[in-house]
């Protein structure tokens, strides 16, 4: 009985706080849409987008770890989610916020293009063999 109560209470707390954040973001969206200039709207959306990505990453792992019933998942799933929550989320946090910087965006696009070129080169070699 205590496991069911714990599951229900944690689900309620997590989902209500997530709902509160979504309602807050709806209000922020309405306020941003009323800004007079396109550049100020773009800057506000950039800031909100970065924050929302981090919040979704954070709450996504929390929901999978605490809200989903444990009996339907393998024993490996909680370990993977704990690793994701403890390591990957903090790792992506600075990356997500640094993507607001123009120099960081251009460096990321350069790396992406190099990676794309190397994959295309690798793919063409494997076809000729």
Q: Are residues 66 and 112 in the same domain?
A: no
pLDDT at 111: 84
Q: Are residues 28 and 67 in the same domain?
A: yes
**pTM for this prediction:** 0.54
Q: Are residues 106 and 85 in the same domain?
A: no
| Residues 58-81: tens digit of each pLDDT | 777 777 776 665 555 567 777 777
Q: Are residues 41 and 85 in the same domain?
A: yes
pLDDT at 121: 62
Q: Are residues 74 and 118 in the same domain?
A: no
- Asked if 10 contacts 66 with a C-beta cutoff of 8 angstroms, the reply is yes
| Residues 22-45: tens digit of each pLDDT | 899 889 889 888 888 888 888 888
Cα–Cα dist 127/25, whole Å: 48
Does 9 have pLDDT greater than 60?
A: yes
What average pLDDT does this structure show over 90-109? 77
Q: In Å, how far are 15, 37, 83, 90, 91 from 86, measured between CA atoms?
A: 20, 40, 5, 7, 9
Q: Are residues 27 and 67 in the same domain?
A: yes
Give the range of the structural domain holding residue 64, as residue numbers without chain letter. Answer: 2-96
């Amino acid at each position: 009985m205590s496991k069911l109560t714990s599951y229900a209470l944690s689900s309620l707390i997590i989902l209500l706080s997530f709902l509160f954040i979504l309602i807050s973001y709806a209000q922020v969206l309405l306020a941003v849409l009323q800004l007079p200039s396109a550049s100020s709207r773009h800057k506000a959306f950039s800031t909100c987008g970065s924050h929302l990505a981090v919040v979704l990453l954070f709450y996504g792992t929390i929901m999978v770890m605490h809200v989903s019933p444990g009996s339907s998942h393998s024993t490996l799933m909680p370990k993977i989610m704990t690793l994701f929550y403890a390591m990957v989320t903090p790792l992506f946090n600075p990356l997500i916020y640094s993507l607001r910087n123009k120099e960081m965006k251009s460096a990321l696009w350069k790396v992406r293009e190099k990676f794309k070129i190397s994959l295309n080169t690798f793919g063409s070699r494997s076809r000729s063999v």
